[in-house]
Structure 1
Amino acid sequence: MKRIQMTSKYTLSCAVLALLALASCKQQENTAPQNENYCIPEDISKGLNFAKVTQRPIQRTLSLNGTVEYNQDKTVPFYSLVEGVVLSAKFSLGDYVKKGQLLAEIRSTDLNEFKTELRATEAELKVAKRELESVSSMYQDGLASQKELMEAEEDVQVLESKWHSAKSNLALFNGQNKEGIYQILAPQEGYIVTKTIVTGMALTDTDEPLFTIANLNDVWIMANVYATSMRYVKPQAEVQVSTLAYPDEKFKGQISTISQVFDAEERVLKARIVMNNHEMKLRPGMSAEIHLLLDDNQGEALAVPNNAIIFDNNQNYVVTYKDACHQEIRQITPLTKNQEFTYISGGVQEGETVITTNELLIYNQLNNHL
């Protein structure tokens, strides 16, 4: 009976030890992955952008509102030089046209009058030249005076001047090869931004342009400068421009000129920024926000790009990066910020690398692996 009891106790002890060993193994299995570093997947890693923590002078941002406008130096309104009927209009609003491209044809009686005047002048000039030859010959034979010779020469000169003038006037209409047809050629390359001409339309004397061509390779950003901001806005100042269409993109430029007279309606000075627009992202009529960095001599501080900052639980963080399997969450203390940088105290060191895209995704993954 004793042996049975001892055997039973021994069996129970072994069972307890086995359960403890099994539980320990399961606990090790559960805790082991938590000690591993989080490695950023390759597909996410390819889309990451980074920035260095730098020591910078503390600058604040002055923001101005404004609009995108045509470059007036590269915008041509076209007015009709004659009255008549539009035979054809070979373009539409918004079309891109090249310099010298045929845009429209107009039938006009004015053009016939110019051609009639040119022909009449040509005939008179031929007669005057024959008369000059005759008088010159008679002068050499002593049958004509010097005065008569000079009058004949003057008649030829007057008619030649009149002929060149008539020919130049006719050349404006590009209509030498078509009877009574005024051909309108594009005066420059660019986009048709206004249009009032249509086929069959009767043209009369008007102050309204038939169309306007604007070259949009560069545009003007017209910033509104209020009196309280005048002392900060100066020619050649570097600016960054943002639009609602591209809120995450900053267009860099310089203030080229500042008006010396307040706009009568808006009571602001207008500052002009000539902006490169080869990608056609800036369209006239768009609203724009213009940012100037102001140096107030407040010293220097560590700076990180604004898009690296993560705000969570009333604290600010950044994610530092060494390689795909080594990142850290660092708490920072912001001092001030401008449109581009946040100036911070502590948490990171100059030269360290922070993540500026998908930083929130990496931040959450790192928290899940703690």
Structure 2
Amino acid sequence: MTKYSILTLALFNLALISCNKGAQNNEESTIEKECLSEAMKSTLNMEKVTLRPIERSLTLNGYIDYNQDKTVPFNSLVDGVVTNTYFSLGDFVTKGQLLAEIKSADTNEIYSELKATEAELKVAKRELESVESMYKDGIASQKELIEAQEDVKTLNSKVAAAKSSLAIFNSRGESGVVKVVAPQSGYVVTKNVSTGMTVNAGDEPLFTIADLSDVWIMANVYAANMRHVQPNQEVKVSTLAYPDEYFAGKVTKVSQVFDTEERVLKARISMENKEMKLKPGMSADIIIQLETNEGKSLAIPNTAIIFDNNQNYVVVYKNDCEQEVRKITPVSKNNIYTYIADGIKENEMVVTTNELLIYEQLTNKL
């Protein structure tokens, strides 16, 4: 082969290698600019890095309870037999919704009294008209007129009282069936009634309805922690069901009397429950942040921290098409925040959910 042929072949190979590298670089560039899908983005939560006082955490144990101000137990107002029920435990019901029917003789008596009183009222009204006519003609006295008017007034009151009683029982009376309706909207949290069951007025509640749009968190406060718990104090609540999620609330009341059995004070935290994640009966940890004298530092939520190869990392979100892995150096930590010395700037956004998935995707590209 001539030296010209060799030179030509070398130039061709060099050009081919350059093209392959260019194609590879274009492919890598395309991967790096790959954007988050809408499905992935919907699963992500981000939080801004802020400068906060370095705090320590006080964790109290407790449990989730119903908001007693929005919980209504229903007791039967009559003696009778349950003929029908139209609800189950856990159902959501609306105010005025028919829940059960009770066959009772109590309302029959009220209805009979109402009918008898209405008949007496008709007679009394006719008597009043007659006395009024005679009074105008000077035949009846004023005393007789006043007595006739009082009779009508008294009977009107009795009729109104009987109708009011039937309204309370939600019964027409003639059928002897009392219709039990929901006193408020909410969830049926207890049910002690079934078809065919005999009930008595004033017995234990037939059911209980609770509005779970907000709940109470009851925290146990031991004597050593009393000075740290105050009304209107903001707290965070975590549960076993959602270990990576904190619910914000505020202390609304601190008992002034120790519980005789548990030897603790009870602190009540009111909390919104729009997503219905907080179920009464669940245990909970109540976290209170206490200031120290250590100054301020940039704070990152613990849920954003990734521990890998004995190092701490976070995923910084810039936009849907640009995220970065940053190594951080913690200087302090509590139950909610990790305080850092470097690696990130104030107001940058860090990913707090599914951050490990993005971390693995980004580190695999390196």
> When the two structures are superposed, what TM-score results if normalisation uses the length of structure 1?
0.80
**Does the 8 Å CA contact 1:194/1:213 hold for their aligned counterparts?**
yes
Q: 2:101 aligns with which of 98, 105, 126?
A: 105
User: How far off is 1:211 after superposition?
Assistant: 0.9
For the residue of structure 1 that corresponds to 2:169, the secondary structure is coil
Provide the C-alpha distance between the structure 1 equivalents of 2:323 and 2:147, rounded to a whole number of angstroms. Answer: 100
Q: 1:219 aligns with which of 215, 219, 225?
A: 215
User: How far off is 1:185 after superposition?
Assistant: 1.4
For the residue of structure 2 that corresponds to 1:121, the secondary structure is helix
- Correspondences of 1:1-370 after superposition (within 5 Å): 39=32, 42=35, 52-176=48-172, 179-312=175-308, 314-318=310-314, 327=324, 329-330=326-327, 332=329, 334-350=330-346, 356=352
User: How far off is 1:264 after superposition?
Assistant: 2.2
For the residue of structure 2 that corresponds to 1:114, the secondary structure is helix
Runs of 5+ unmatched residues, structure 2: 1-16
For the residue of structure 1 that corresponds to 2:113, the secondary structure is helix
User: How far off is 1:265 after superposition?
Assistant: 1.9
User: How far off is 1:182 after superposition?
Assistant: 0.9
Provide the C-alpha distance between the structure 1 equivalents of 2:130 and 2:265, rounded to a whole number of angstroms. Answer: 71
**Does the 8 Å CA contact 2:187/2:210 hold for their aligned counterparts?**
yes
Question: Larger Cα Rg: Structure 1 or Structure 2?
Answer: 1
Cross-structure match for 2:6: none
User: How far off is 1:362 after superposition?
Assistant: 6.5
For the residue of structure 2 that corresponds to 1:172, the secondary structure is helix
Percent identity, aligned pairs only?
62
The alignment yields a C-alpha RMSD, in angstroms, of 3.1
Provide the C-alpha distance between the structure 1 equivalents of 2:170 and 2:317, rounded to a whole number of angstroms. Answer: 67
User: How far off is 1:329 after superposition?
Assistant: 4.9
The size of the alignment, in residue pairs, is 338
User: How far off is 1:287 after superposition?
Assistant: 0.9
**Does the 8 Å CA contact 2:63/2:281 hold for their aligned counterparts?**
yes
User: How far off is 1:231 after superposition?
Assistant: 1.6
1:152-196 CA-partner distances (Å, limit 9, x unpaired): 221221111111111100111222175111111111111111111
1:319-347 CA-partner distances (Å, limit 9, x unpaired): 66778788465351x32212221112345
Rate the CA distance shift 1:308–1:187 in 2: closer, same or farther, 3 A: closer
Rate the CA distance shift 1:70–1:91 in 2: closer, same or farther, 3 A: same
Provide the C-alpha distance between the structure 1 equivalents of 2:232 and 2:52, rounded to a whole number of angstroms. Answer: 22
User: How far off is 1:217 after superposition?
Assistant: 1.4
Provide the C-alpha distance between the structure 1 equivalents of 2:72 and 2:86, rounded to a whole number of angstroms. Answer: 18
Rate the CA distance shift 1:56–1:138 in 2: closer, same or farther, 3 A: same
User: How far off is 1:139 after superposition?
Assistant: 2.3
> When the two structures are superposed, what TM-score results if normalisation uses the length of structure 2?
0.81
Provide the C-alpha distance between the structure 1 equivalents of 2:79 and 2:103, rounded to a whole number of angstroms. Answer: 8
User: How far off is 1:297 after superposition?
Assistant: 3.9
Rate the CA distance shift 1:366–1:174 in 2: closer, same or farther, 3 A: closer
**Does the 8 Å CA contact 1:329/1:366 hold for their aligned counterparts?**
no
User: How far off is 1:223 after superposition?
Assistant: 1.5
User: How far off is 1:210 after superposition?
Assistant: 0.9
